[in-house]
Chains A and B, each alone.
Chain A
C-alpha cells in the first residue's frame, strides 16, 4: 500500500494567517492526490483534486501544489470556518490511502 505522511500533525494559527500543510507519498503518485477538509462531527469535504484543481465551490484561498511524492496544501488568509482537520488521499492505485490528518486550530 502507498503510505501517505502528513506534516505537521497539528498546528495553531490565527485568522488571516497563511497556512501550509505537506503530504508525502511513499512512492511516486504523479498528481493523483486529493485534499479534504473535515470539521468536527462532519463528513470530509473535497477541496482539491489532481493535486492542484480546486473543486467547484471551494474558496480560492485554498490551493494545492506538487507532484511525484511531495505535495502542499496552502490556505491563504485563514478564515474562522477553516479551523478543521485536513487529509490528503492518493488515488494513484488501490487501495486508496489517506494521510493521518493535520488539525488546524485557533492560536
Chain B
C-alpha cells in the first residue's frame, strides 16, 4: 500500500520561502509511470495543481507559480520536495502531495494516492 506524508513548517512569514517534503512509502518515486505532484487547497476553496516531478526526474510547473516554484527529489530517502519563494497570504493553503498514475490503457492519468495534507499559513 502506497502512503504519502507531507512535512514542513506550518507557519511561514511573508516574503520568505515555503519548504515542504513528501515522504513516500510502499513505492519508489523512481518507479516507471508515476508522477509525483503537489496540489493545494485554499481555505474553503477548490483544488489547485502546483506541479509534478516525474519518475524520470523531469518537472512540470503550473505557469501561475512557475517563477517562484521548485520541485525536486528530497535530500534523503524516498522523498520529493516543494519550495515556493516570496510567499504572500495568498499562498496560505492546505498542501497535499499526491501520486499521479497512468491507467492500463496508457492513455489516462489520475491521482490515486494522496497524503493527508499539511496546512501552511503565511503570516508575520
Contacts and interface: CB of A to CB of B under 8 A. Distances in A.
Interface residues of A, number: 24
Q: Secondary structure at chain A's binding surface: helix, strand, loop or mixed?
A: loop
Contacts, number: 58
Q: Give the interface centre of B109, B111, B114 by most chain A CB atoms within 10 Å.
A: B111
Contact of B48 (A34, A43, A53, A98): A98
9 contacts: A44-B111, A44-B114, A45-B114, A49-B109, A89-B111, A95-B64, A96-B49, A100-B45, A100-B46
Q: Which 7 pairs from chain A and chain B are nearest by CB?
A: A43-B114, A49-B110, A50-B108, A100-B46, A98-B47, A96-B49, A95-B62
Given A50-B107, A95-B63, 14 more contacts: A36-B111, A43-B96, A43-B114, A43-B115, A43-B117, A46-B110, A53-B103, A55-B110, A55-B112, A87-B46, A95-B49, A98-B47, A99-B46, A100-B45
